[in-house]
């Protein structure tokens, strides 16, 4: 589940990016009739406000180091993520394999310098659901838990409890069922602090915590540290991501999202 900007629930390119019913500005703009509203109404208001914050971005850029450990292996990935509204994305991966991915709305270009090959997938003739499926599969490799709620509507509908922290009034906890979940949010900074999802037997399926928040732009807060565990068929995977050089609504050149393949690159076209 993407608390995420980026698993893996998405309804647009932004839901996988680092891709939200009450928002008037940043920060502390949440207003939905006060705490007298039902838990579901408050959940919709908070999750929606977080999503709107990201959806209103003009640009976003940051560097990531992600480390993952399981019983079988450990890995480290490094990449730079760049976004320009409404649908341009660039990922420059340094490890484990140098790779550049560019999504510009009409096509996806994946270039691997070591192989001197680029795969270009045309999107222009596809329906919106087909585009989303392809883009999501490509960008899933850079998904980060713990930032956004993604497709939050169904989760908000299932909210059964809303309570504010007695010592930190700006912090609220939302709990729901089917499956059981618990989300802690900062309603002033409009950020998610933690999320936990269990199966019906009570076993933890995913738990994420975001911390070390920084301002990527005035009033726009993002975590620079995210830790999460996820239960998979092969066991439990523990991950930590460190974000740096976070910049929101800065100036990015349009040319950044235009593939500039070196001479001699083999270009493979896919429809």
Chain segment 69-98, per-residue pLDDT in tens: 998 899 999 999 999 999 999 999 999 999
pLDDT of residue 148: 79
Q: What angle do CA 22, 196, 133 make, to 5 degrees?
A: 70
The H or E element containing residue 46 is helix 39-55
Dump pLDDT digits (tens) for 213-269: 999 999 999 999 999 999 887 789 999 999 999 999 999 999 999 999 999 999 999
Q: How far is CA 23 from CA 55, 114, 130, 188, 217, in A?
A: 12, 46, 31, 11, 17
Structure tokens, 49:
């406000």
Q: Give percent of the chain with pLDDT exceeding 90.
A: 68
Q: Lowest mean pLDDT: which of 19-23, 27-31, 221-225?
A: 19-23
Q: Give percent of the chain with pLDDT exceeding 70.
A: 87
13-270 belongs to CATH 2.50.20.10: yes
Q: Strands 59-69, 235-248: parallel, antiparallel or unpaired by DSSP?
A: antiparallel
DSSP string, 223-257: EEEEEEEEEETTEEEEEEEEEEEEEES----GGGG
- Enumerate the domain spans of the chain: 13-270
Q: What is the pTM of this model?
A: 0.84
């Amino acid at each position: 589940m993407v608390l995420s900007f980026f698993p893996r629930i998405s309804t647009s390119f932004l839901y996988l990016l680092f891709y939200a019913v009450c928002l008037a500005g940043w920060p502390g703009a949440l207003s939905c009739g006060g705490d007298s509203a039902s838990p579901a109404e408050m959940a919709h208001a908070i999750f929606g406000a977080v999503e709107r914050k990201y959806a209103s971005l003009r640009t976003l850029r940051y560097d990531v180091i992600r480390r993952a450990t399981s019983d079988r292996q450990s890995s480290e990935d490094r990449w730079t993520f760049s976004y320009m509204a409404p649908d341009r994305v660039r990922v420059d991966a340094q490890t484990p394999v140098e790779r550049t991915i560019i999504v510009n709305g009409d096509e996806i270009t994946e270039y691997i310098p070591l192989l001197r090959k680029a795969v270009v997938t045309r999107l222009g003739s596809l329906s919106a659901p087909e585009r989303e499926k392809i883009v999501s599969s490509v960008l899933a490799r850079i998904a980060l838990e713990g930032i956004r709620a993604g497709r939050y509507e169904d989760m908000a509908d299932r909210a059964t409890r809303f309570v504010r922290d007695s010592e930190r009034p700006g912090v609220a906890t939302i709990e729901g069922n089917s499956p059981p979940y618990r989300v802690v949010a900062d309603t002033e900074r409009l950020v998610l602090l933690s999320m936990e999802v269990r199966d019906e037997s009570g076993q933890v399926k995913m738990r994420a915590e975001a911390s070390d928040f920084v301002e990527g732009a005035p009033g726009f807060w993002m975590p620079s540290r995210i830790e999460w565990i996820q239960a998979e068929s092969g066991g439990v995977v523990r991950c930590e991501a460190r974000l740096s050089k976070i910049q929101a609504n800065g100036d990015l050149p349009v040319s950044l999202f235009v593939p500039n393949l070196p001479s001699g690159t083999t270009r493979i076209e896919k429809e």
